[in-house]
Structure formats: structure tokens, C-alpha cells
Amino acid sequence: MAETPIRFGILSCAGIARKLSRAIILSPNSTHYAVGSRSIDKAKKFAAENGFPPSAKIYGTYEDVLDDPDVDAVYVPLPTSMHLQWAVLAAEKKKHVLLEKPVALNVAEFDQIIQACEANGVQFMDGTHWVHHPRTAKMTEFLSDTHRFGELKTVHSIFSFAGDDDFLKNDIRVKPGLDGLGALGDAGWYCVGAILWAFDYELPKTVTAFCGPVLNEGGVILECGSYLQWEEGKTATFHCSFLSNLTMAITALGTTGTLQVHDFVGPYEEKSSSFTTVSQIGFTARALPSQHVVTTDLPQEASMVTEFSRLVKSIKDGSSKPEAKWGSLSRKTQLILDAVKASIDNGFELVQVEA
């Protein structure tokens, strides 16, 4: 007998929710159950355009989604400034929480969210797709190979895209009252996550923002970068921007190898992606980099939904408790964003990272 899929409710009809709506459909263990918006007409339109079944519940408030006893989990793509209120309320209503990133405006807010999830026994996960792609597991294998890669020394990460005039004036990501972290919270979340992933989630000791960030009239960051330092001379840098050409790159350098990937945030091809490696090669013994191709039946966002739904199902069945790993990884990423923002606000001073 087929397993009952995890029933998702979506809070808001934001454009970013369209991709996740498709992922819920593609995932084998999840289904659309409800959508809520402050406008019921908007919710009806969203459901019709995004493959919701005729039986789906359409609600004119977010509260109605959370009050529905048949909703197992909620996806929250609301502006960051609204995450604390609605993620905490979702947890208190015993709904498992898949929360868009950045998870909060600062780590103090996120701690309240994760505490609510823990107190109510619900699973938390943020909406970072790329870590669920099978390519990431293959890249992790290379970074962990002491012969081919050696010891990690430095990582450089970039995520940028050129927003058009409408984006730079009207998108929620450039509004101080909605997503006040701007490019740092949006694109920078991926850069910081990539760096922490390469360092096996060991936090740096210090963070120093680069001089010359670009801010809009509301004080929201449109472009910035930072330098991170660990003990024993290990370092990382990142650049994030709403003002330059689409770039989604990671370069990780080890003592005996190098890893490079050029589309880590979202593979250019949905079912096939690649990365390149070089091992134990110098100027006197050159060779072409090795390209590694990884195929998948599911897009990475559907893989994320599948894993989240698997965890929720295990909790519902009583066979496991919420997996704390995902909240821990989100918190570490948010800590670094906070440190970069503090460095910018305080004249690009060095900031100690306190776990």
C-alpha cells in the first residue's frame, strides 16, 4: 500500500514559492494540501497556476493554513522580517517548518524560531536546495580525500546576478522593512553556506567585511564581500551582488588538489551537472582537470522536499525525533551573516565569531 504523502501548506503566494510548488509535485512523498494568502483571490490564482489538486484548501489568511489539522508541514516563503512571527506560530501549531533563507534578520531571532521548533517537536529545515543535490555529496567525497585533495587551505565563493531596474526598485530583497539584509542575506547566504560546507561546518575565528559595499537609498546592501579566517592560516573570501553578471562559483584549494564548480546554486541543467578537480599537479607535471558529471532524476529542490518529508514522516510515525542538524547548519550560516553585517556597520572592523 502506498504511503500517505506529507501534506504541505504554503504561507503566501510569493514568486519564489512557484519553484517549491513544483518540487512538492515532483517529490514522491509529498503533496499540496493548502495555500494561504492575505487575498483569497490571489491564493486561488496561485493554486490554479501551480498544479494544486482540486481538493486543495484555499485560504484567505495564513492563520487558516496553520489552523487546519490536516496540514503536516508548511513552507514559509514570506519576507525575512516576517519569519520570526510565522515560523514560531507554525511550530506552536505543531506544523513542521521549511523556511526560506535567510532564516531570520539575525541569530537572536533565529534562536527563537529553533527553540519553538524544538519545544514542539517539529522538524526545521531551511530552503537551501544545492546541499541536497547528489553532486554535493560527490564533491564532499573529493574534499574528504586526503590523497587527492589533501588539507583544505582556502575557499573562494561568488554568487551574483544583475537585477534589472524593477528588481532594484521594487523587489522585497531591496526593501529595508522586508528583507533588510539585501544581497548579503539572499546571495550571501549561499556563499557563506558553501564556505562552511567546504570547512565541514567549522566556524571561522574572525570575519572582516571588504571595504566599499554598495547600499541603496534605504541602506540595504546591494553588493558586498568578506574575508574569513580560521586557525593555522586557513582562509576564505566571498562576493555577493545584485549588480553583476550571473556567477555561482566555488573554488576550494587543498594541499594536493583543487575543486571548482561554476553553477553550485542552481545547475544549468536540471538532471545533469558537473564539477572539476585537479590533483597533485604542478608546473612541471601538468594535466587537464578531471570533469565529473553527476545525473539525477529529481531537481535539487525536489530532493530537498523529499528529504524533509522523509524526516517529517519518521516523526509522525514515532520512529525518530526531529533531526537537529539542519537547524545547526542554518544557525552557523546566520552567525556569519551577522558578523559580516556588524563589520560593515562598524567601519569594516575585524569581528570575532562567537558560537
What are the sequence ranges of the domains in the chain?
A: 6-129, 131-299+334-352
Report the distance separating Cα 11 and Cα 351, nearest Å.
36
Task: Identify whether the C-beta of residue 66 lies closer than 8 Å to the C-beta of residue 9.
Answer: yes
CA distances from 287 to 119, 182, 279, 322 (A): 54, 41, 9, 46
Grid coordinates representing 6 are 506529507
Strands 247-254 vs 235-241: parallel, antiparallel or unpaired: unpaired
Reported confidence tier of residue 3, pLDDT bands at 50, 70, 90: confident
Report the distance separating Cα 305 and Cα 297, nearest Å.
14
Grid coordinates representing 175 are 526593501
Task: For the chain, give the percent of residues with pLDDT over 90.
Answer: 94
- Identify the residue whose cell numbers are 594541499: 255
**Looking at residue 288, what is its pLDDT?**
79
Domain 6-129 bears CATH identifier 3.40.50.10090: no
Region 40-69: mean pLDDT is: 96
**Looking at residue 266, what is its pLDDT?**
97
Region 265-278: mean pLDDT is: 96
* Bridge partner list, 276: 260, 291
Report the distance separating Cα 193 and Cα 133, nearest Å.
14
Q: Which of 117-131, 150-164, 282-296 has the lowest mean pLDDT?
A: 282-296
Reported confidence tier of residue 96, pLDDT bands at 50, 70, 90: very high
Residue 44 contacts by C-beta under 8 Å, 6 or more apart in sequence? 58
**Looking at residue 355, what is its pLDDT?**
84
**Cis peptide upstream of residue 102 (ω within 30 degrees of 0):** yes
Grid coordinates representing 129 are 536546495
Q: Which of 116-120, 143-147, 212-216, 283-287 has the lowest mean pLDDT?
A: 283-287
Region 122-140: mean pLDDT is: 98
CA distances from 167 to 5, 15, 163, 332 (A): 36, 13, 5, 29
Reported confidence tier of residue 286, pLDDT bands at 50, 70, 90: low
Q: Which of 335, 334, 107, 350 is nearest to 209 (CA)?
A: 350
CA 148 to chain CA centroid, nearest Å: 29
Domains 6-129 and 131-299+334-352 are alike in CATH topology: no
Report the distance separating Cα 199 and Cα 252, nearest Å.
10
Number of neighbours of residue 61 by Cβ within 10 angstroms: 15
**Looking at residue 283, what is its pLDDT?**
61
CA distances from 227 to 66, 100, 181, 210, 234 (A): 41, 25, 18, 7, 11
Region 17-21: mean pLDDT is: 95
Residue 287 contacts by C-beta under 8 Å, 6 or more apart in sequence? 278, 281
Task: Identify whether the C-beta of residue 294 lies closer than 8 Å to the C-beta of residue 135.
Answer: yes
Report the distance separating Cα 47 and Cα 50, nearest Å.
5
**Looking at residue 280, what is its pLDDT?**
78
Question: Is 90 exceeded by the pLDDT of residue 158?
Answer: yes
Domain 131-299+334-352 bears CATH identifier 3.50.50.60: no
Grid coordinates representing 223 are 553588493
Report the distance separating Cα 181 and Cα 101, nearest Å.
11
Task: For the chain, give the percent of residues with pLDDT over 70.
Answer: 97
- What's the chain's average pLDDT? 96
Region 18-40: mean pLDDT is: 96
Tell me how far apart the terminal alpha carbons of the chain are, to the nearest angstrom.
46
Compute φ and ψ for 151, nearest 5 degrees: -100, 130
Grid coordinates representing 88 are 514560531
Number of neighbours of residue 281 by Cβ within 10 angstroms: 14
**Looking at residue 56, what is its pLDDT?**
96
**Looking at residue 2, what is its pLDDT?**
59
Residue 86 contacts by C-beta under 8 Å, 6 or more apart in sequence? 11, 62, 76, 78
Reported confidence tier of residue 174, pLDDT bands at 50, 70, 90: very high
281 or 314, greater pLDDT: 314
Grid coordinates representing 79 are 519576507
Q: What is the pLDDT of residues 205-227, one digit of tens each?
A: 999 999 999 999 999 999 999 99
